[in-house]
Amino acid sequence: MNYQNTLEFALAADKNDPLARFRDQFIIPQHNRQDMIYLCGNSLGLQPKATAEVIAQQLSNWSKYAVEGWFDGDTPWMFYHKTLTNSLATIVGALPAEVVAMNTLTVNLHFLLVSFYKPNQKRFKIIMEGGAFPSDQYAVESQVRFHGYDPMDAIIEVFPRQGEDTLRTEDILQRIHEHADELALVLFGGINYYTGQFYNLQAITKAGHDAGAIVGFDLAHAAGNVPLRLHDWNVDFACWCSYKYMNSGPGGISGAFVHQKHFGDATLNRFAGWWGYREDTRFEMKPGFKPQESAEGWMVSCSPVLLLAAHAASLKAFAEVGSMQPLRDKSKMLTGYLEFLIRQMNRERGNGVFKIITPADPAQRGAQLSVICDNGKAIFDYLVKKGVLGDWREPDVIRLSPVPLYNSFADVYMAGKILKEAVSAIQPFPEGRAL
């Protein structure tokens, strides 16, 4: 796409956008009686208009059927989670039996680590990205301690090279190779929350398996954002949240993936619960856990129906699009347009006002640009005051994420225009400083 820094270009791009109609399926927050320019889907997606209706239907079922709602009505609660599996499988590139909606993200990570982190005297180390989201760091630290190891000995973090902001794939693979004899687990994020870097999950998985390790991913910033092929890549396990790019509400239900090759593995430990017991004999209430031979075998508690309802409402849009590829195509264009506008500002200013730490290669990023600038917090506050909502991450990053389901090219154009205003309004900027 040949970008232009004009409103006319943005409006023409929106007019020709085959996904533009999906914007009307979401509630856009208001700022001074106008639609806010919401670029924070990487933190919390917007509410679909269908959410209230779908939740209301389940509230109606509750009032109508009471406890019999588990088995009666159009969507019996006992099997409600199953209505989401086909959509989830499409989004993450899995077989339907390999995915399940349950719990919340870090809870799922802990449950999966119980099964897939199996340290022994020789293999006890975990390799992960340096600067991973704190929940992942804390979960891994606590799991390591639970098994009697010191995190300083058992956790290997991979950081960017000196003077670089993102990881090189070859460096990740080299570290895996260097520690091959010690590795029990490779655990990475799909997309780094801070830089927005989309890791080469296929290459990481292969390298981990070649080293004899289990490979898993936290896909909080990747699920619903970029195309994934977890089954084909032979990933062992993964988990994700649904409230970012999948728009399922604050604290919304999480998802989990377990490759089918593990379903019959009786050597896997797990923290079991009734809901993961074999469905055909679950109500016999017999002792001795026998898991469902699917990702549902990792379920513990009964399904939170109202959270599932919010998730079901959000997945309708994905099902209507049909696959992740149209979303990915638009995402690349939207994020590319934002990058074009920021780089043009840098050229006009002549002193490199903004440093984009997200990879320039569209294949290595999703719907996010992470930007560093002088007086960054003041710039961010100016944007918010003018109705542009991204988010601020300490110590110095503004994250801006145009989401293809509801953001427009006009949104991106106006965000760039207001960002340029902010540069002029927030002083001083040191002359000649190149970030």
Q: What is the DSSP string of 44-92?
A: -PPPBTHHHHHHHHHHHHHHHHGGGGGTSSSS-GGGGGGGGHHHHHHHH
Q: How confident is the model at residue 428 (pLDDT cuts 50, 70, 90)?
A: low
pLDDT of residue 349: 78
The full set of domain ranges for the chain reads 7-35+323-425, 53-321
Per residue in 205-225, pLDDT tens? 999 999 999 999 999 999 999
- The rounded percent of the chain whose pLDDT value lies above 90 is 93
Q: Is the model's pLDDT at 351 over the cut of 80?
A: no
Per residue in 152-208, pLDDT tens? 999 999 999 999 999 999 999 999 999 999 999 999 999 999 999 999 999 999 999
Beta strands in 113-203 (DSSP E): 125-129, 155-158, 183-189
Mean pLDDT of 291-313: 96
Q: Is the model's pLDDT at 431 over the cut of 50?
A: no
Pick the closest to residue 166 from 212, 128, 198 (CA basis): 198
Assess whether the region 7-35+323-425 and the region 53-321 belong to the same CATH fold. Answer: no
CA distance 81 to 212: 34
Give how far the C-alpha of residue 390 lies from the chain's centroid of Cα atoms, to the nearest Å.
Answer: 16
Contact status, residue 138 vs residue 108, Cβ threshold 8 Å: no
Helix axes 305-321, 50-65, angle to 10 degrees: 140
Contact status, residue 238 vs residue 257, Cβ threshold 8 Å: yes
Give the HSE-up count for residue 315: Cα atoms under 13 Å, Cβ half-sphere: 24
Per the listing, tokens 């009505």 go with 73
Better pLDDT: 423 or 128 = 128
Q: How confident is the model at residue 348 (pLDDT cuts 50, 70, 90)?
A: confident
Pairing of strands 397-400, 369-373: antiparallel
Per residue in 233-289, pLDDT tens? 999 999 999 999 999 999 999 999 999 999 999 899 999 999 999 999 999 999 999
Burial of 107 (0-12, 13-18, 19+ CB in 10 A): middle
Backbone angles phi, psi at 418, to 5 degrees: -70, -35
Per residue in 135-160, pLDDT tens? 999 999 999 999 999 999 999 999 99
Mean pLDDT of 399-407: 98
Fold type of domain 7-35+323-425: Aspartate Aminotransferase, domain 1 (3.90.1150)
CA distance 405 to 22: 6
Q: Is the model's pLDDT at 433 over the cut of 50?
A: no
Contact status, residue 262 vs residue 114, Cβ threshold 8 Å: no
Strand partners of residue 237: 216, 258
CATH number of this structure's domain 53-321: 3.40.640.10
Per residue in 84-102, pLDDT tens? 999 999 999 999 999 999 9
Burial of 42 (0-12, 13-18, 19+ CB in 10 A): buried
